[in-house]
Amino acid sequence: MIYNLHTHTERCNHAYGEDREFVENAIKAGIKVLGFSDHCPQFFNYKDYYSYFRMLPEMARDYAHSIRNLAKEYKDDIQILLGFEAEYYPAIYDEMIACSKKIGVDYLLLGQHLIGNEYDEHKFYKGEREGENFLTQHTNQVIEGLEKGTFTYLAHPDLVNYRGNHEHYIREMTRLCKKAKELGIPLEVNMLGMNNRRCYPNEKFWEIAGQVGNQAVIGFDAHTPDFFYKKDSYNRCVDLLLKNNLSPMSFEEIKIRKPY
Ligand SMILES: [Zn+2]
Ligand SMILES: [Zn+2]
């Protein structure tokens, strides 16, 4: 049974299509469980700062309303869940959880794109070629986030475009994989990255996850409604797992963690 817990909406400014189109295309593509996990609003304690790639706080209610209504309307064809893809930013974590509670999300994915609290250490993953320190900081922050016990899975765990010392990469990613395993948190093979030939999924990372024996899921990371038809990219994600003696979990095996 195909499921996908990683779906965006146009509220985040870099996804396209109406919510309904995502649902209807997912049904046509044979998806049985569809989780919306748009980029969560963040509540920055910093004057005039707001990042452009996530929904604004005032959009959260409309998001919840729209997804819950679609869930009712299409309940005979597909199960729809409401979630967020969120960052773990220590200084504003509580506000993020409060917002999730207010609109009643079913689950959160951890998708760590930046470190610090974003406004203080504005280091975006994309094209970054930061040194060992950055990788360690990123790993520490992700682990601290996972330890909160509020995230259902870790999206694109291999997102950092690290080009430094190879041993250091192995050491840090082994530490991350072991911690995720210990906490019972699955890791995501990101299908958007696979489809768009980004620096993730990282072959080396999945080799490590295979050795550690992590639980794995495939997340579409759909930013357009037609993305559900990318069968070829999906199969390549499956192949990557199989090659490393892993296989995608079934939906029933995933523990959906309520974040509040
Ligand atoms: Zn996105
Ligand atoms: Zn995403």
- When the pLDDT of each residue in the chain is averaged and rounded to a whole number, the result is 94
* 95 or 1, which is more confident: 95
What is the reported pLDDT for 125? 55
* Domain membership flag for residue 259: no
Q: Say whether the peptide bond before residue 201 is cis (omega within 30 degrees of 0).
A: yes
83 CA to middle of ligand 1, Å?
14
Among the residue ranges 90-94, 122-126, 236-240, the one predicted with the least confidence is: 122-126
Q: What is the CATH number of the domain that holds 77?
A: 3.20.20.140
Please state the pTM of the whole predicted model: 0.96
Arithmetic mean of pLDDT, 62-69: 98
Say how many Å lie between the CA of residue 100 and the centre of ligand 1: 18
258 within domain boundaries: no
Distance 66 CA to ligand 1 centre (A): 19
Query: For position 123, what pLDDT does the model report?
Result: 62
Question: If you measure from the C-alpha of residue 214 to the centroid of ligand 1, how many angstroms do you get, rounded to a whole number?
Answer: 24
Query: What's the CA-to-centroid distance between 5 and ligand 2, angstroms?
Result: 10
pLDDT tens for each residue of 5-28 = 999 999 999 999 999 999 999 999
List, as one string, the DSSP characters of 121-184: S--BSTT----HHHHHHHHHHHHHHHTTS--SEES-TT-----S-HHHHHHHHHHHHHHHHHHT
Render pLDDT for 116-149 as a digit per residue (tens, 0 to 9): 898 887 665 544 556 788 899 999 999 999 999 9
Ligand 2 centre to CA of 133 (Å) is: 25
- Structural domain of residue 30, as residue ranges? 2-253
The verdict on residue 58 lying in a domain is yes
Query: Ligand 1 centre and the CA of 183: distance in Å?
Result: 26
Q: Does residue 69 lie within any of the structural domains?
A: yes
pLDDT digits (tens, 9 = 90+) for 183-237: 999 999 999 999 999 999 999 999 999 999 999 999 999 999 999 999 999 999 9
Number of compact structural domains in the chain = 1
Nearest Cα neighbor of 37 from 188, 145, 143, 172 is 188
Q: Which ligand is nearest to the CA of 156?
A: 2
Q: Are 63 and 55 in contact (CB under 8 A)?
A: yes
Output the CA 39–ligand 2 centroid distance in Å: 7
Determine the distance separating the centroid of ligand 1 and the alpha carbon of 81, expressed in angstroms: 18
User: Ligand 1 center to residue 8 CA distance, Å?
Assistant: 7
CA of 215 to the centre of ligand 1 (A): 23
